[in-house]
Structure formats: C-alpha cells, structure tokens
Amino acid sequence: MKNVTSLDHQIYTCIFNIFPSGPFEKEINLNVYVPPVVSVFPDVTPVVGDSEVILVSCIARSRPASEVTWNLGDLNSPVRIKTDVSAGPNDYYTVSSRLIGVPSKELNEQNVQCLVNHTSLKKEIVLNYALVIHYPPQIVYITSVNPPTTHQEFLCIAVANPKPTLYIWSRENKALTGRVDFDRLEIQLNSDSNGLYKCNASNQYGNGVGTLQMQFSTDISPDCTTCWILFTTLIVLNVAAFFVWRFNLCSKQIFDLREGSWPAVRVRVSTNSPTHNREPNSTDSS
C-alpha cells in the first residue's frame, strides 16, 4: 500500500482459491501509527491558600498510546504526578499526566518539562512550561524615584501576581497633599510634608500596605546642589595642590641626589707654585 493514512488503520481479509481445495482466508491487521499531539496547560489558575490542586496538565493523543513523563528540574516543593490513559475510537489513546501540589509563591515561574515518547518518533518531544501561581500582594514598600530637590517622587512597589490593579495613597492623621498618579506620589519637600505615608496595593486576591516615614528639617534647604558643587570644587583644588607640592618636593630631592653623586674636583698645583712640595735646601759650599 502506498500513501497510507490514519484511515487505513483496519483489518484486511485476504481471500485466495486453491483448486481443488477451495478458497482460503487470512486476516491482516494494518497498524498505522499516528504521532502524538501534545498540549500543556493549567486546568485552573492555582492560587496561594488553596489546598492541593492540579498545577499543570500534559496531554498526548496518539495511536498507539504515548509515554508521558516529567522533568521537574530545580523544583524543590513537594509535588506528585498522576497519569491516566483513556481509549477512544479508531484505537486512539489519550494520555493525561498532571502535576499536583499545594500552590505557593515559591512555585511561581518555576520551570518544568513534559517529556513525550512514541513509537513513531525518532526524538523525544520536550515541552517547557513555567508554573503560574496567583497570590495577593505580600510585600509592599515605597521607594524614591528621583534625587530630592524641591519635590520628591515616590513609587509604590508590590510583590504580587497578577500585578496590583489599584493603589490607594494616604497620610496618617493628615490630609494627603501632592499629586497621585496610580502607583506614584509626588510631594513638595517642606515641614508640612512631614508624616507617615501609606500605600495600599490590591489585586483580585487581596491587598498589602507599605509605609514611609518622612521627616524634613526647616533649617536646611532641600536644594543643596550649590553646596555640593562648592564642596567638590574644594576637594579638587586640594588634590591638585597636593600633587603640585609632591612634584616640587620630588624634583628637589632628585636635584640634591645628583649634586651629591658627582666626583670631587681636584686641582693640580703647578710645580712652580710656592706651595708645591720641594726638597730641603742644601748647604751652599763655600
């Protein structure tokens, strides 16, 4: 048979006649392998706080049945694997393998692999999947965005999945002043800005609150740009003066060393000089 398709997966009967015995029949099973169609997906989105649930499912449909296993990689949290096989029409089989565990924040974005092997395949099918776990804001904090000048901008950061959809800014015991833009707050830096600021971040699963205590002094201007420029200039001038002094000192030391290492100058005295050594005068003969 040529150009075999999955529809050719049948039982065929071969009939032939032998004289004088008569006809003979032989049944032939033609098995047509169908490579697996594989999908990986969560049945429902796991949420922190739930009891044991299906974290992810890997399903392979093929003929004959596929072998489905898991590579858990660096997954440290305890999970268990449950695999079921169901038969369908035309000898198709569906293999469903599921990872089951208790949802936690640590499981979120952990990578696992579904591995599928089948008679028709020369190479194993590997499907990567990053676990998705939802949880309410668990860590909320407020941080500054820009260096302080006359105004200061703050950002509310929340560790949550999915990201918060609502941010509510407030100020303890005082009315909130400044400009609010979703997860950002801009305030003017003066004594009236002192106090405890709060950011309440929430998604569909819950909320979390971050705080920031602000304290400004009225004696010091918040804009110290000029002060920093003068301070930096003084440092640069002092460093430059130090290097000039060291250079002059080293130059003098080198000059003194060279002067001390030259050989002494010797002056040759002429023999006609009165100071030249001479033999004692001999007695004149009379």
**114 with 179, same domain?**
no
Please give the tally of structural domains in the chain.
2
Both 111 and 158 in a single domain?
A: no
Residue 278 is predicted with a pLDDT of: 42
pLDDT in tens, 107-147: 999 999 999 999 999 999 999 999 999 999 999 999 998 88
Residue 44 lies in a domain: yes
Query: Is the CA virtual torsion 189, 191, 196, 199 positive or negative?
Result: negative
Q: Which two tokens stand for residue 242?
A: 């130090």
Q: Give the rounded percent of residues in the chain with a pLDDT score beyond 90.
A: 52
Range(s) of the domain holding residue 146: 135-247
231-241: pLDDT as tens digits: 565 565 665 66
Comparing 60 with 189, which gets the higher pLDDT? 60
Question: Which residues are CB-contacts of 152 (< 8 A; sequence separation ≥ 6)?
Answer: 144, 146, 186, 187, 189
Sign, Cα dihedral of 251, 256, 257, 259 = positive
Please state, in angstroms and rounded to a whole number, the distance separating the CA atoms of residues 178 and 198. 13
Same domain, 122 and 168: no
- Measured from the Cβ of residue 56, the count of other Cβ atoms closer than 10 Å reads 22
Q: Transcribe 181-241 into DSSP letters.
A: ETTEEEEE-SGGG-EEEEEEEEETTEEEEEEEEE---SSS-S--HHHHHHHHHHHHHHHHH
> For residue 186, what is the domain's CATH number?
2.60.40.10
